[in-house]
Amino acid sequence: MLGKNASTELSTRQVNCRLSASLGLKMGTFFRLAYDLEKYFLNHTGASWPHGSRQKMMNRSGPAQRAKFIYTGIHVSNLERSIKFYTEELGMKLLFRTGIQETGGKVAWLRSKGSSQILELNWYPSRYTYGGTRGLDHLAFEVEDARDYYRRLSRNHEAPIEPFREGRWILAYVKDPDGNWIELGHQVKKKGTREKRRRKKIEG
Q: Which residues are catalytic?
A: 183
Phi, psi of 123 (to 5 degrees): -110, 130
**Residue closest to 64 by CA, chosen among 29, 91, 95:** 29
DSSP sequence for 108-150: EEEE-TT---EEEEEE--TT-TT--SSSEEEEEEE-S-HHHHH
List CB contacts of 200: < 8 A, sequence separation 6 or more. none
Alpha carbons 169 and 190: distance in angstroms, whole number:
11
